[in-house]
């Protein structure tokens, strides 16, 4: 590794941004040169985040594109939907490499974005510049690129669990149902009634059924894998835990394949990809087993009675679902080993 890069983080006071700080502080070839806030510029970052006391002394910079371009080589945009659509083109024009963690550049057309995100999005010209950085599936497209759109948290867990089976033709894509659950940090640091302790604790609720903004992102990739249009049923639930996503995916088998064959086929598919771990027969992953890490753990159960497969896929939403995969994309962009700075053992217990 010869290069050393300077990184800036817009949205550094949010959950994705603060996690980027944690990961990048341990990255051997990256220095964080600017942490940026649209609402608290001038304040020391450790004031709002005391866990960074005596670790990070920087004060927050304002969102000032020329300033950021003078201080950094790469910028991470960990901002709410709609912000990157405007900021990313300015950052690229200023010569920065950009990794966007929001959904602003994941969908192929402005029309689909507006339909699901209920707002105006980026232009077709700008959308065409972004590479969708689902590392284990499209990673070979990332090296040397300037602009990466980091996948969503639910899509990452779901797609890593389903793409090999769809590509192999082992499941009928028209029968896919995904039952997904997320911890509360998935909703970001902003306040919301459903995220209050008294509302979420000892509760388990479904939300955005059939209208979640991640549905078109998942369908886009599954359609690419299947070579034809795929439409899925996708349900999301809020779990009273801080981090973690579990996507439990069901599909009808084409022909006969047992659990052992699924395990072998997925192990071959992900050979050499260090962040995907396939479980043994009869073992299914739990969110705690990837907590604080960049792993995606996957387990299978084929039911001979129904001829359906259940695929259980778990990630840490803030890591593999956001900051971890963003750093994995940075590593791939720059031709580094994709695990650089990301070899974090899950926190247990
Ligand atoms: N949380 C998760 O698990 C995941 C999140 N994502 C996506 O990543 C992005 C960040 O998510 P998350 O960190 O959870 O969100 P948060 O709400 O926790 O943080 C977003 C940050 O963006 C900053 N911000 C708000 N408006 C602007 C603006 N106009 N210009 C610049 N900065 C702004 C805010 O900081 P300030 O006021 O200091 O500027 C805020 O802290 C979102 O698009 C989210 O959907 C993707 C995958 C997983
Ligand atoms: C628990 C929770 O509320 N999660 C959020 C995840 C949002 C997200 O990550 O949004 P983008 O990927 O579109 O940026 C949700 O379901 O909307």
Tell me the pLDDT tens digit for each residue of 110-157: 999 999 999 999 999 999 999 999 999 999 999 999 999 999 999 999
**Mean pLDDT across the chain, nearest whole number?**
98
Q: How far is CA 298 from CA 105, 106, 256, 271, 312, in A?
A: 27, 24, 20, 14, 6
Q: Whose CA is nearest to atom 13 of ligand 2?
A: 103
Q: Whose CA is nearest to atom 19 of ligand 1?
A: 14
Tell me the pLDDT tens digit for each residue of 68-92: 999 999 999 999 999 999 999 999 9
Q: Ligand 1 mean position to 305 CA, how many Å? A: 45
Q: Ligand 2 mean position to 289 CA, how many Å? A: 22
Tell me the pLDDT tens digit for each residue of 316-330: 999 999 999 999 999
Tell me the pLDDT tens digit for each residue of 154-176: 999 999 999 999 999 999 999 99
Task: State if residue 156 touches ligand 2 by the CB under 6 angstroms criterion.
Answer: no
* Confidence at 3, pLDDT banded by 50, 70, 90: confident
The pLDDT value given to residue 1: 57
Instruction: Give the separation between CA 256 and CA 307, rounded to whole angstroms.
Output: 7
Q: Whose CA is nearest to atom 15 of ligand 1?
A: 188
Residue 221 tokens read as 């990739």
The pLDDT value given to residue 261: 98
Q: Ligand 1 mean position to 37 CA, how many Å? A: 10
**Sequence-ordered list of residues with C-beta below 8 angstroms from that of 92, at least 6 positions apart, any chain:** 98, 129, 146, 147
Cβ-count burial of 339 within 10 angstroms (0-12 exposed, 13-18 middle, 19+ buried)? middle
Task: State if residue 185 touches ligand 2 by the CB under 6 angstroms criterion.
Answer: no
Instruction: Give the separation between CA 341 and CA 336, rounded to whole angstroms.
Output: 10
Q: How far is CA 107 from CA 136, 170, 197, 310, 317, in A?
A: 18, 26, 33, 27, 20
Q: Give the containing element (helix H, strand E) for 278.
A: strand 276-278
Instruction: Give the separation between CA 278 and CA 285, rounded to whole angstroms.
Output: 9
Task: State if residue 183 touches ligand 2 by the CB under 6 angstroms criterion.
Answer: no
Tell me the pLDDT tens digit for each residue of 219-234: 999 999 999 999 999 9
Q: Ligand 1 mean position to 129 CA, how many Å? A: 22
249 is catalytic: no
Instruction: Give the separation between CA 222 and CA 216, rounded to whole angstroms.
Output: 10
Task: State if residue 152 touches ligand 2 by the CB under 6 angstroms criterion.
Answer: yes
Q: What is the mean pLDDT of residues 20-43?
A: 98
Domains and CATH numbers, the chain: 5-129 (3.40.50.720), 154-317 (3.30.360.10)
The pLDDT value given to residue 113: 98
The catalytically annotated residue of 135, 153, 249, 296 is 153
ipTM of the complex: 0.99
């Amino acid at each position: 590794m010869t290069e050393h890069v300077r990184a800036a983080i817009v949205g550094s006071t949010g959950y994705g941004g603060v996690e980027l700080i944690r990961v990048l502080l341990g990255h051997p070839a990256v220095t964080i040169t600017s942490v940026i806030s649209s609402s608290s510029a001038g304040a020391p970052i450790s004031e709002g985040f005391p866990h960074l006391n005596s670790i990070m002394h920087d004060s927050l910079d304002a969102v000032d594109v020329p300033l950021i371009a003078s201080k950094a080589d790469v910028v991470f945009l960990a901002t709410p939907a709609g912000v990157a659509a405007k900021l990313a083109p300015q950052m690229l024009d200023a010569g920065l490499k950009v990794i966007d963690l929001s959904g602003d550049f994941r969908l192929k057309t402005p029309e689909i974005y507006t339909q699901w995100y209920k707002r105006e999005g980026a232009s077709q010209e700008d959308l065409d510049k972004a590479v969708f950085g689902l590392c284990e599936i499209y990673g070979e497209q990332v090296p040397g690129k300037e602009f990466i759109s980091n996948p969503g948290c639910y899509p990452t867990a779901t797609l890593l669990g389903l793409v090999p089976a769809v590509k192999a033709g082992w499941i009928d894509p028209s029968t896919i149902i995904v039952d997904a659950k997320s911890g509360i940090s998935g909703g970001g640091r902003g306040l919301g009634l459903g995220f209050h302790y008294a509302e979420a604790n000892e509760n388990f609720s479904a939300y955005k059924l059939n209208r979640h903004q991640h549905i078109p992102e998942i369908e886009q990739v599954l359609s690419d894998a299947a070579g034809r249009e795929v439409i899925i049923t996708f349900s999301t639930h809020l779990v009273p835990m801080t981090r973690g996503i579990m996507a439990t995916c069901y599909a009808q088998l084409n022909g006969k394949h047992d659990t052992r064959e699924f395990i072998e086929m997925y192990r071959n598919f992900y050979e050499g990809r260090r962040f995907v771990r396939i479980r043994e027969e009869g073992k299914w992953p739990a969110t705690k087993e990837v907590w604080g890490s960049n792993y995606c753990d996957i387990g299978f159960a084929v039911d001979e009675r129904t001829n359906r497969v259940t695929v259980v896929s778990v990630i840490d939403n803030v890591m593999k679902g956001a900051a971890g995969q963003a750093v994995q994309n940075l590593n791939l962009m720059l031709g580094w080993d994709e695990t650089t700075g990301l070899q974090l053992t899950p926190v247990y217990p």
